[in-house]
Structure 1
């Protein structure tokens, strides 16, 4: 796929108005779009203030190619990096510009990845079972589907997707091995769930595909180190925003931000605090923000999005 075709295939960025509102007070400095995708959020952030420079990070080479084309007009205000976002700390430390004033995480899978038939992310297209965000990585969906033990499959379906019929689906997958295509997997899942579960609006294999994709790309385990690295490097009055689409993603984000906002004391409860614990961020939104009904109607894939945001505080004086 050419960069031009890839750029056109990326759908509109989710909650773009809310994201630009979060970052509006921060006029200059280094921004990191840690999940660059097609560059839609990055474009809006660069347009918003001319004093911003941006480091765009994505593990998917196709995403980098599409974003490079979309953001070409911004010239040397943008630096691109094809890496996983859990390397954010190292990438910021070696970036040619600073200070770090804004970080955006848009977690989950991109519309482009879902719509690229040959990459095997979606049950809607028959393709080899792949689901890798970075084709350079070794583990793909075929490996997970065909080599994981029954108990491992069951637990990843429960943990990653809250799948009600995890045991039935895992047992059906094991019995049907080897599976090599998305159509084969979707059919096995569909046949494994009760008839009533097949009549819903969503395909019964959606949760299974999401769970396997999360496992293939180790998505949930990358969030905490990336966010902690971002918060540690964010300058006072700098801001961080996250978009999550899955309960596991949002739970991790919520815990990290609440801890930073509460200033968790690590001293024994029976002794006075000597660790100097103090809040390091101010939550800009105590509750999650959801997309408007108009946006969901225009872009159904935004329906599950949850926005959280925080501002870095000045270090407490001792």
Structure 2
């Protein structure tokens, strides 16, 4: 979730920055040309800025679907001049972006998934259940679908599915039924009204633990509005395909659904697929990647103390060791 990866100031620091630099740095030690770093979730450019400072010859290709984030990142990174190319795009569009830029491969890739700090902190974006705001939740304000349209227009079974699958909400059916019942009299337009409805739909005993009961519902709606999981399922294989031998990727996930997609995709690329009945491994079935992290790495206690939004991060990283056949 690009949480903390943004503008200067207290509490706005890139998540797991030192570890990202450590893991991706070796892939950028190329000779004879400028190494290329793809930041698929640019946010305010915190990771990108550190990477450009650490590698003076580096060229950045930065993607973000949020035009406000791109504008702010552009100001932050302006001092790097033509080393920086910023594109308004969703990360699954990276193949077409690279093709248009004439970039056949990238040496290192970072994805810092989910919602960004400014999106959470700016009430009018409608991401935060703790502030009253229009029920929006669009990362890209040029798109048409909003959270209000989902809540007021989707059939009850579809709302329940979204809450159950994307929010892992135990009371999805009850919340969906309450939404449909209430929207008949008055459509939902504000985050506060929706958050209050979710709270009242959940048993009192459950409300007393686990933080704000609206958290899972808001997460689920945000994922639906922005097509996050479908986009991520397409983006990760595309990013892996863009890496040459020695190229590296790091992924920061903030909930189990994103991390599960990442884990399975990397596991498939790091497995030996030689049929088990053969006596020796076949070269063409050897792993294409090797894992750089053992399982999912967490932020340190020190970092989560100074940057609480790093508390849910899970990092996975890998390096290409063999070209695809």
Query: What TM-score do you get using the length of structure 2 for normalisation?
Result: 0.90
Counterparts of 2:286 and 2:312, CA distance in 1: 33
Matched, 1:170 2:176: yes
TM-superposed deviation, 1:99: 4.2
3-state SS of the aligned residue for 1:262? coil
In structure 2, how many angstroms separate the alpha carbons of the residues matched to 1:75 and 1:68? 10
Equivalent residue number for residue 188 of structure 2: 179
Residues 1:120 and 1:316: Cα distance change in structure 2 (over 3 Å): closer
Whether 1:159 aligns to 2:165 is yes
Matches within 5 A, 1:1-318: 7-8=7-8, 11-25=12-26, 26-28=28-30, 29-97=35-103, 99-177=105-183, 178-200=187-209, 202-264=211-273, 276-315=284-323
**For the residues of structure 2 that align with 1:235 and 1:150, how far apart are their CA atoms?**
46
Superposed CA offset, 1:37-70 (max 9, x none)? 0000101111111121110000000110110011
User: Structure 1 unaligned runs (5+)?
Assistant: 1-5
Higher relative contact order (CA 8 A, sep 6+): 2
Kept after mapping to 2: 8 A contact 1:33/1:57? yes
Q: Distance in 1 between matches of 2:196 and 2:182?
A: 10
**Over the residues paired in the alignment, what is the CA RMSD in angstroms?**
2.1
Post-superposition CA distance 1:117-161 (Å, at most 9, x none): 111011111111000001111110011101111111111111101
2 CA distance for matches of 1:158 and 1:296? Answer: 28
Task: Tell me if structure 2 keeps the 8 A contact 1:27–1:52.
Answer: no
Cα pair 1:243 1:307 within 8 Å, conserved: yes
CA distance in 2, matches of 1:151, 1:251: 25
- Distance in 2 (CA, whole Å) between partners of 1:139 and 1:53 is 34
Q: Does the CA contact (< 8 Å) of 1:161 and 1:210 recur in 2?
A: yes
More off after superposition, 128-137 vs 201-210:
201-210
C-alpha separation in 2, matches of 1:316 and 1:173: 48
Contact 1:234 1:312 in 2 (8 A): yes
Aligned mates of 2:122, 2:59 — CA distance in 1: 30
Q: How far is the alpha carbon of 1:98 from its aligned partner?
A: 6.0
Q: For this pair of structures, how many residues does the alignment match?
A: 310
Listed as ranges, the gaps of 5+ residues in structure 2 are: 1-5
| Contact kept in structure 1, 2:287 and 2:322, CA below 8 Å | no
Equivalent residues of 2:38, 2:108 under 8 A apart: yes
Structure 2 SS opposite 1:235: coil
- Secondary structure in structure 1 of the residue aligned to 2:37: strand
Q: Is the 8 A contact 2:178 2:201 kept in 1?
A: yes
Residue 231 of structure 1: how far off its partner (Å): 1.0
> How far apart are 1:188 and its partner, in Å?
0.4
Whole-Å separation in 2 of the counterparts to 1:303 and 1:264: 36
1:76-96 Cα offsets, whole Å, 9 max, x none, are: 111000111101111122324
Say which SS state the counterpart of residue 57 (structure 1) adopts: strand
Moved more, 77-86 or 196-205: 196-205
User: Equivalent residue of 2:257, what SS?
Assistant: helix
CA distance in 2, matches of 1:316, 1:94: 23
SS at match of 1:128: coil
